[in-house]
C-alpha cells in the first residue's frame, strides 16, 4: 500500500496511509544521544506497510522528527503533538499512539490529550523520571524483545526498564498488558544504507502483537 508525504505544523514530516480512515494510529520513532536529522523508523515502516491493509478504518501516520535525540525531547514531543493535530482534522475518531524505543517516552508525554485512547509501546524507553500520570484511565500496552538491551554502539532498551515504567503506569490508574517476545531484539527491522528494510528475528511476532493492539483499539472505538 502506498503512502503520501505530509508536512506537519511543527516542521516535521509524516507518511500517511489510509487517509480516509476515521480512526488514527500515530507511529513515533526512537532517537539517539547525538542530535541527528530525523529519519524514518524501519520498525514503524515495516508495521505500517503490513498492517494498513488489514485495518482500513485506521489512518497510519509515521512521524519523522526534525531532530531525533533524547537530548531534545521537547522538539520530538512537539512533532508528535503536531501529528495528532494532523490526523484529528476532519476526523471524529480517537488516536492510538504507537511509540517505538524513545517514541514510547514521547507518546506517554502527550497521552493526556483527550483525543488519545492509549499508548502501544514497542520496546519503549520509559525512564524513571518520566511522568506517567497522563495515562490515568487509558491503556498502556507494552511489547518488548526478551533479548533487547543496550550495548556500546548498539541501541537498545532493557525489558526491565519498560516493565518498571509499565508498573508505575498501572499504579497511576492505567490498564493494559505487558508481552515479552522470547529471543526478540530491539524492534522488528533495521535499514541498510541502501534504504532497504531488513527484517529482524521474530519480526512476525512484533507484527501480530501490534495487530492485536490495533484490534483492541478498533473494537473499543465507536462504530
Contact 125, 144 (CB under 8 A): no
The boundaries of the domain holding residue 179 are 4-220
> What percentage of the chain reaches a pLDDT higher than 90?
85
User: What mean pLDDT, rounded, does the chain reach?
Assistant: 94
pLDDT tens for residues 122-181?
999 999 999 999 999 999 999 999 999 977 666 799 999 999 999 999 999 999 999 999
Q: Counting Cβ atoms within 10 Å, is residue 87 exposed (0-12), middle (13-18) or buried (19+)?
A: buried
Contact 62, 50 (CB under 8 A): no
DSSP of 83-132, one letter per residue? HHHHHHTT--S-EEEEEETHHHHHHHHTTTSTTEEEEEEES----TTS--
pLDDT at 150: 79
pLDDT tens for residues 17-43?
999 999 999 999 998 888 888 999 999
Question: Is residue 85 scored above 90 in pLDDT?
Answer: yes
How far is the CA of 117 from the CAs of 137, 142, 186, in angstroms? 9, 15, 25
List all residues 6 or more positions away from 5 whose beta carbon is below 8 Å from its beta carbon: 13, 14, 15, 16
DSSP of 200-216, one letter per residue? PTTHHHHHHHHHHHHHH
pLDDT at 153: 63
Q: pLDDT band at residue 103, thresholds of 50, 70 and 90?
A: very high
Question: Is residue 214 scored above 60 in pLDDT?
Answer: yes
pLDDT at 167: 98
> Residue 68 is part of a domain; what is its CATH number?
3.40.50.1820
Question: Is residue 114 scored above 60 in pLDDT?
Answer: yes
pTM: predicted TM-score of the whole model, two decimal places = 0.95
Number of domains in the chain: 1
More confident of the two residues 151 and 220: 220
pLDDT at 4: 96
Question: Is residue 110 scored above 60 in pLDDT?
Answer: yes
How far is the CA of 92 from the CAs of 22, 88, 129, 178, in angstroms? 7, 7, 34, 29
- Counting other chains too, the contacts that 80-84 makes at CB distance below 8 Å and 24 or more residues apart are 80/26, 80/28, 80/106, 80/107, 80/109, 80/110, 81/10, 81/110, 81/113, 82/8, 82/9, 82/10, 82/12, 83/8, 83/12, 83/14, 83/26, 83/28, 84/24, 84/26, 84/110, 84/113, 84/115, 84/116
| SS3 category, 14 | strand
Amino acid at each position: 500500500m502506498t503512502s503520501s508525504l505530509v508536512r506537519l505544523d511543527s516542521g516535521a514530516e509524516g507518511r500517511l496511509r489510509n487517509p480516509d480512515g476515521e480512526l488514527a494510529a500515530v507511529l513515533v520513532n526512537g532517537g539517539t544521544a547525538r542530535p541527528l536529522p530525523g529519519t524514518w523508523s524501519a520498525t514503524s515502516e515495516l508495521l505500517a506497510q503490513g498492517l494498513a491493509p488489514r485495518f482500513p478504518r485506521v489512518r497510519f501516520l509515521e512521524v519523522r522528527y526534525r531532530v531525533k535525540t533524547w537530548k531534545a525531547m521537547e522538539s520530538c514531543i512537539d512533532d508528535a503533538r503536531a501529528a495528532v493535530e494532523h490526523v484529528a482534522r476532519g476526523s471524529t475518531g480517537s488516536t492510538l499512539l504507537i511509540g517505538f524505543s524513545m517514541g514510547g517516552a514521547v507518546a506517554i508525554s502527550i497521552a493526556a490529550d483527550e483525543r488519545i485512547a492509549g499508548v502501544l509501546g514497542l520496546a519503549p524507553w520509559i525512564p524513571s523520571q518520566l511522568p506517567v500520570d497522563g495515562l490515568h484511565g487509558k491503556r498502556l500496552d507494552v511489547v518488548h524483545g526478551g533479548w533487547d538491551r543496550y550495548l556500546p554502539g548498539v541501541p537498545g532498551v532493557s525489558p526491565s526498564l519498560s516493565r518498571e515504567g509499565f508498573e508505575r503506569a498501572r499504579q497511576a490508574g492505567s490498564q493494559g498488558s505487558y508481552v515479552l517476545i522470547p529471543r526478540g531484539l530491539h524492534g522488528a527491522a533495521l535499514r541498510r544504507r541502501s534504504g532497504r528494510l531488513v527484517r529482524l528475528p521474530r519480526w512476525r511476532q512484533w507484527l501480530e502483537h501490534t495487530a492485536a493492539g490495533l484490534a483492541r483499539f478498533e473494537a473499543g472505538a465507536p462504530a
